[in-house]
A and B are shown apart, each in its own frame.
Chain A
Amino acid sequence: MKKLLIGNAAVARGAYEAGVRVACAYPGTPSTEITEEISKYDEIYSEWSPNEKVALEVAIGASIGGARAICCMKHVGVNVAADPLFTFSYTGVNGGLVLVCADDPGMHSSQNEQDSRRYALAAHVPMLEPSDSQEAKDFTRLAFEISENYDTPAMLRLTTRVAHSQSVVELSDPERVELKPYAKDAAKYVMVPANARERHKAVERRMKALAEDCNGLPINRIEYGDRSVGIICSGNVYQYVKEALPQASVLKLGMVHPLPQRLIREFAKNVEQLYIAEELEPVIETQVKAMGISCKGKELFTVQGEYSAGMIRQAITGEAKAALQPVLVPPRPPVLCAGCPHRGVFYVLNKLRLTVSSDIGCYSLGASKPLNAIDAVLCMGASIGMAHGMEKARGREFARKAVAVIGDSTFIHSGITGLIDAVYNKGNLTLIILDNSTTGMTGHQHHPASGFTIKNEPTHLLNLEALCLACGASSVRVVDSYDMEGLENAIKEETGRDGVSVIIARRSCVLLDKGRKNYYTVNAKCTNCKLCLRLGCPAITSGEKASAIDKSLCTACGLCKKVCRFGAVEEAQR
């Protein structure tokens, strides 16, 4: 049967067809849908883990236990999971293990555009890179074979354009893969120095074997055409090359680590000018040049953002297709939704002019105008450590005008240790946990404090108040996120207090509350003072004589009524 699938759904299908038994992930764009799709297969145990490191460790346990396991994350998630990855590379697998990482060239939804291929090189693990959904499915299955045949974790690299593009996939029946026997094998799995030294030799042997064998791997293939131009490429860039230069000769790499050196030499010999077209870092180019082969790469192509057929055509042929210039119109960046529970918190933080270390999630949007409330955003969990470090640099008085804010899911991911650190090292810190009871930005995934599993089954609910108290916070209080007065008082009190305080601003994500809500309207008392516009609510628009509220967007959160000094906002029945 043929089906249109996004790359992520195709990976999920590949995992199913490969007989995967365990799947673990922490959500992260553009990888989230892989595990969401896997969770629909009852044959596979799936979970949202609290972070990528734990996810990989669970998958590793499943592999050692004899099952095929898959672990999925976005590119920056590999940073978090790197510790187990680098040593699991030494132990190798029992059941096959595939780590899927989704890179985000162009940063559609990320804080950097690091290139995961460098992880494959650094950790000495093979990496496959599909160029469409069919390959996403096929390469997932192949990755499990390679993992088991070469006793190694295998990585599958996606980019946003593969992960989130739909293309036609031919579905197959699942393989029957038996659980492998488990036998204690300390020399293989106990990574103390004496054992690890032996395993490191195994890593070297395996990578040499792979480097030789990948020359004959059908997913590395030469498509000869006009031999005056030869292009080495992989992934979505292959699609751009085929569209831009259908006549050119192409070496398409399905495996991007290790590289098929014999195939590359053969291709280089048979084309007049060799080009390397790869998004982000010159990973292939550096290696090809180290082989003593002359080629053109990053002198023509940028390390920034996404490529396209047009830019490849222009870089190689010098021909630019004449296209019209874009019409200049006001930008439309993403904004916090109407009714978003984070809005009131950032309004208050802006009003109090505090220094705000923030974190990764929808609430990074609190940095945008008009809320303008955020000073720093770095990576998952960093807000707390950064706020603590700022106090250590600038002193107690500075900390009275500073807070850290973090989402509930992000706090569980990697914020807890930051809180423990601030308490342990006698910090003076006010932490605001923006608890909307979900992982919002990635499309509402459950987490330990939402009380439900990936399959929507009720489970033990992590109690954030008790957790923060156990970490040693001297004060923990809960405030309704819509209660701006309560928030302001709490923030003033807690920043004035010595020690570490936690304010949990709690209200579930407005997108999860599907109930019919009332709405607000603007009456004749509006003086057009425009204070309500400082909320940055997409439902409120500025008018010539008065503000207006878009009934279709309004969720009756009531923030505008609270900020209005003239009683010009009133509730109406829907």
Chain B
Amino acid sequence: MMQLNVLIAGVGGQGTLLASRVLGRYALAQGSDCKLSEVHGMSQRGGSVVTHVKMGEKVYSPVIEPGGADVLLAFEALEAARYAHYVKKGGMIIVSTQKIMPMSVVTGSAKYPGDILDKLTEMGYNMVKVDAVGTAERAGNIRAANIVMIGCMAKLLKIDYGQMRKAVGESVPQKSLEVNLKAFEEGFNAIKLP
């Protein structure tokens, strides 16, 4: 049984919740135990958000500890850095190269570290950078960048294409089914395994 801890980080409104629910549905279909921890309310308003996905034989805490994530799925570069220390040794950061300025940067009280992804690579993290927004745009809707990321992760972790695709199809609203399946396919194909 696949034991997998995925931390999904992003900015409120980027669809981390939906992404985690796709993984939850996938886990359940595999017969795994699974827990997801979500963020609702105040913290969703354009703030930094993080959702935890844990699957395996038996899951107790729904929360991933620092150093406990197999994969950090980051929808934004700065958020990848914010949660990088959650990744375990040998784990992986899959990051959308999109940059969203936090208010502290907009008002000039802080600077967006432009080279942040290079810095993470230097620190020894196993980084996979993805143009999720561009890929989603090609699939038909930039809002499907979250599902592009799921596609990328499925390919990188050698998860069965059909089973994850099914989980995507069952998790997204009916009216955006087609574009999300397309986004998943594009994300999956965007990754070239060595």
Task: Give A contacts to B, CB under 8 Å.
Answer: 2-4, 6, 29-30, 32-33, 108-109, 132, 161, 164-168, 236, 239-240, 242-243, 308-310, 321-327, 329-337, 362, 364-365, 368-370, 441-443, 530, 533, 536, 538, 540-542, 552
Apart from the given pairs A108-B39, A333-B103, 14 other A-B contacts in the complex at a CB distance below 8 Å: A2-B28, A29-B42, A161-B37, A164-B37, A236-B61, A309-B61, A322-B67, A330-B104, A332-B47, A332-B78, A333-B48, A336-B46, A538-B46, A538-B106
Complex alpha-carbon distance, A530 and B108, angstroms: 10
- B26 CB to nearest chain A CB (Å): 11
Task: Give B contacts to A, CB under 8 Å.
Answer: 11-12, 21, 24-25, 28, 33-48, 59-63, 65-67, 78-79, 81-82, 84-85, 100-113, 116, 119-120, 123, 142
Decide yes or no: A327 and B82 within 8 Å by CB, A2-B28, A4-B28, A243-B61 being known contacts: yes
Whether B34 contacts A167 by the Cβ 8 Å rule is: yes
Whether A4 contacts B60 by the Cβ 8 Å rule is: no
Complex alpha-carbon distance, A536 and B101, angstroms: 12
Whether A161 contacts B62 by the Cβ 8 Å rule is: yes
Residue in A161, A330, A332 whose Cβ sees the most chain B Cβ within 10 Å: A332
**A32 proximity list for chain B (CB < 8 A):** 40-41
Whether A330 contacts B85 by the Cβ 8 Å rule is: no
Whether A533 contacts B65 by the Cβ 8 Å rule is: no
Tell me the nearest residue of chain B to A333, going by C-beta: B47
Tell me the nearest residue of chain B to A537, going by C-beta: B106
Decide yes or no: A533 and B111 within 8 Å by CB, A161-B62, A239-B61, A335-B46 being known contacts: no
User: Which of B45, B79, B109 is close to A337, meaning CB atoms less than 8 Å apart?
Assistant: B45
Whether A329 contacts B63 by the Cβ 8 Å rule is: no
Dominant secondary structure at the A interface: loop
What are 20 of the A-B contact pairs (CB < 8 Å)?
Answer: A4-B36, A109-B42, A165-B38, A166-B21, A308-B63, A308-B65, A324-B84, A326-B82, A327-B84, A327-B119, A327-B123, A331-B102, A332-B47, A332-B103, A333-B103, A370-B107, A441-B45, A442-B41, A533-B106, A552-B142
Decide yes or no: A362 and B45 within 8 Å by CB, A323-B67, A327-B82 being known contacts: yes
User: Which of B12, B109, B123 is close to A369, meaning CB atoms less than 8 Å apart?
Assistant: B109
**A365 proximity list for chain B (CB < 8 A):** 45
User: Which of B21, B59, B65, B107 is close to A310, meaning CB atoms less than 8 Å apart?
Assistant: B65
Decide yes or no: A542 and B108 within 8 Å by CB, A166-B36, A167-B35, A327-B84 being known contacts: yes
Residue in A321, A326, A533 whose Cβ sees the most chain B Cβ within 10 Å: A326
Whether B78 contacts A310 by the Cβ 8 Å rule is: no
**A324 proximity list for chain B (CB < 8 A):** 66-67, 84-85
- The 7 nearest A-B residue pairs measured at CB: A109-B41, A29-B41, A334-B47, A330-B110, A323-B67, A334-B45, A109-B42
Whether A334 contacts B44 by the Cβ 8 Å rule is: yes
User: Which of B35, B62, B103 is close to A335, meaning CB atoms less than 8 Å apart?
Assistant: B103
Whether A242 contacts B45 by the Cβ 8 Å rule is: no
- A101 CB to nearest chain B CB (Å): 16
- A194 CB to nearest chain B CB (Å): 45
- A10 CB to nearest chain B CB (Å): 12
Complex alpha-carbon distance, A161 and B62, angstroms: 8
Complex alpha-carbon distance, A132 and B47, angstroms: 27
Whether A321 contacts B67 by the Cβ 8 Å rule is: yes
**A326 proximity list for chain B (CB < 8 A):** 66, 82, 84-85
Whether B42 contacts A334 by the Cβ 8 Å rule is: yes
- A34 CB to nearest chain B CB (Å): 12
Whether B39 contacts A327 by the Cβ 8 Å rule is: no
Tell me the nearest residue of chain A to B107, going by C-beta: A370
Tell me the nearest residue of chain B to A246, going by C-beta: B60
**B39 proximity list for chain A (CB < 8 A):** 108, 164
Decide yes or no: A538 and B82 within 8 Å by CB, A166-B24, A324-B66 being known contacts: no
Whether A165 contacts B35 by the Cβ 8 Å rule is: yes
Decide yes or no: A323 and B66 within 8 Å by CB, A108-B39, A336-B45, A337-B46 being known contacts: yes
Complex alpha-carbon distance, A152 and B11, angstroms: 44
Whether B84 contacts A332 by the Cβ 8 Å rule is: no
Whether B47 contacts A239 by the Cβ 8 Å rule is: no
Decide yes or no: A167 and B62 within 8 Å by CB, A108-B41, A443-B40 being known contacts: yes
